[in-house]
Amino acid sequence: MNVNKMFPERGPAFWWTGFTALIASGTIFILFVSLVVESVPVFKVQGVSFLWGTDWFAGESYGALPMIFGSLMVTGLAVILVLPFALGSAILTSEFLNGRYRLMVKAAMELLAGVPGIIYGLIGIALLTAAVRDVFGLIDGNTLFTAGLLLAVMILPTVMTLAEDALRAVPGEFRDTALSLGLTRMEMVLKVVVPQALPGLAGAVFLGLGRAMGETIAVMLVIGGIDRIPQPWFDLFAPGQSIPSKIGREAAESLGFDLQWSALIALGLVLFVMVMALTSAGNLLLRRAR
How confident is residue 233, by pLDDT bands cut at 50, 70 and 90?
Answer: confident
Residue 1 domain flag: no
CB 65 within 8 A of CB 52: yes
User: 1 pLDDT exceeds 80?
Assistant: no
Judged by DSSP in three states, 49 sits in helix
Residue 77 domain flag: yes
How confident is residue 147, by pLDDT bands cut at 50, 70 and 90?
Answer: very high
Tallying the residues shown for the chain, one arrives at 290
Please tell me the distance from the alpha carbon of residue 40 to that of residue 43, in angstroms, as a whole number: 5
Longest pairwise C-alpha distance within the chain: 70
CB 144 within 8 A of CB 158: no
Q: What is the pLDDT of residue 60?
A: 78
Helices 65-91 & 198-214, crossing angle to 10 degrees?
Answer: 140
Q: What is the pLDDT of residue 286?
A: 66
Domain extent for 133: 9-289
Q: How far is CA 123 from CA 80, 115, 129, 138, in A?
A: 21, 12, 9, 19
Amino acid identity for residue 226 in this structure: I
DSSP result, 55-100? --BTTTB---HHHHHHHHHHHHHHHHHHHHHHHHHHHIIIIIS-HH
Residue 188 domain flag: yes
Q: What is the pLDDT of residue 255?
A: 66
Per the structure, how many domains does the chain have?
1
Residue 282 domain flag: yes
Residue 85 domain flag: yes
User: 20 pLDDT exceeds 70?
Assistant: yes
CB 168 within 8 A of CB 91: no
Residue 4 domain flag: no
CB 202 within 8 A of CB 285: yes
> What's the mean pLDDT when you consider all of the chain?
85
Q: What is the pLDDT of residue 152?
A: 92
Q: What is the pLDDT of residue 214?
A: 82
Residue 2 domain flag: no
User: 2 pLDDT exceeds 60?
Assistant: no
Residue 3 domain flag: no
pLDDT in tens, 164-188: 888 888 888 888 888 888 888 888 8
CATH number at residue 187: 1.10.3720.10
